């Protein structure tokens, strides 16, 4: 900018006593200097339902929604929200039912939840590693003891057969010992070899009966501890 600049110019003049004196006079000239000032920032008015991102921005690129967006949505256009996956509607207020279509990918059952969904399986199946497919459950192995349905009945048949054999041996023993019922009280100890042999044979039959009786008792104990599985 221009301005008036004073200039002090020396000159000679006659003083008292006719002497020369040196003095100054002021003259003025136009000069220029650099000036700084802050110009006002331009402002812009935004259209209705639009605003600036901040006070220093000139563009009005932020939409306004008079009803706040719900469930994590954002205002994308005046009065219109951009919704996250799983929600729809003007303000993202409506849940999307992913199970209504076939895009969920569940193998058996689809369960809709708020904003999402998850897969489930019917009884006897479990979810695979991808949480979508279903795989059958592996049944637990049955106990080895009496796992077959016919095992208890087979043991009963075996015990019945052993009892029949014991009864037959008892009847045979009664027949063998019958001649000695009257002979033993009166017969001397050194009786003939034939009665002694018959008596020894009879005692051997008694040993076999005792052995069979022990087997029957053991089978009865096993049957008492056996619990057959009940079928539904």
CATH topology of domain 48-95: Laminin (2.10.25)
Q: Give me 162's structure tokens.
A: 């052993």
How far apart, in whole angstroms, are the C-alpha atoms of residue 184 and residue 204? 18
**Which pLDDT does position 11 carry in this prediction?**
82
Q: Which residues contact 205 (CB under 8 A, 6 or more apart)?
A: 169, 172, 173, 176
Q: Give me 153's structure tokens.
A: 């009945």
Q: Which residues contact 225 (CB under 8 A, 6 or more apart)?
A: none
How far apart, in whole angstroms, are the C-alpha atoms of residue 183 and residue 191? 10
Q: Give me 7's structure tokens.
A: 């200039």
Region class of 81: left (phi > 0), else alpha (psi between -120 and 50), else beta: beta
Every domain of the chain and the residues it spans: 48-95, 97-138
Q: Which residues contact 156 (CB under 8 A, 6 or more apart)?
A: 223
Q: Give me 61's structure tokens.
A: 């690129």
Residue scoring higher pLDDT (172 or 109):
109
SS3 223: helix
Contact 125, 135 (CB under 8 A): yes
Mean local confidence (pLDDT), 115-142? 86
Cα angle 62, 96, 74 (rounded to 5 degrees) comes to 10
Q: Quote the mean pLDDT of the chain.
A: 77
Contact 134, 128 (CB under 8 A): yes
pLDDT of residue 150 exceeding 60: no
Mean local confidence (pLDDT), 157-176? 76
Assess whether the region 48-95 and the region 97-138 belong to the same CATH fold: yes
Confidence of residue 188 (pLDDT cuts 50, 70, 90): very low
pLDDT of residue 135 exceeding 80: yes
The CATH architecture of the domain made up of 97-138 is Ribbon (2.10)
Distances (CA, A) of 192 to 164, 187, 195, 198, 204: 34, 10, 6, 10, 19
């Amino acid at each position: 900018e221009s301005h008036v600049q004073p200039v002090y110019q020396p000159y000679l003049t006659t003083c008292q006593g006719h002497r020369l004196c040196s003095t100054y006079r002021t003259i003025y000239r136009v000069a220029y200097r650099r000036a700084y000032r802050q110009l006002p920032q331009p402002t812009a008015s935004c259209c209705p339902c639009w605003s600036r991102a901040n006070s220093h921005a000139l563009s009005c690129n932020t939409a306004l929604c008079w009803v706040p967006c719900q469930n994590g949505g954002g205002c994308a256009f005046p009065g219109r929200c951009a919704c996250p996956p799983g929600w729809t509607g003007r303000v993202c207020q409506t849940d999307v039912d992913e199970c209504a279509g076939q895009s969920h990918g569940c193998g058996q059952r689809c369960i809709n939840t708020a904003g999402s969904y998850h897969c489930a399986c019917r009884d006897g199946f479990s979810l695979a590693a991808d949480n979508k497919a279903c795989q059958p459950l592996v049944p637990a192995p049955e106990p080895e003891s009496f796992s077959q349905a016919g095992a208890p009945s087979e043991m009963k048949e075996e015990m019945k057969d052993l009892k029949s054999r014991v009864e037959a041996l008892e009847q045979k023993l009664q027949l063998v010992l019958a001649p000695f019922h009257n002979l033993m009280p009166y017969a001397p100890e050194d009786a003939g070899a034939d009665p002694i042999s018959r008596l020894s044979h009879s005692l051997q039959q008694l040993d076999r009966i005792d052995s069979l009786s022990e087997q029957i008792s053991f089978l009865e104990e096993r049957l008492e501890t056996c619990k057959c599985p009940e079928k539904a």
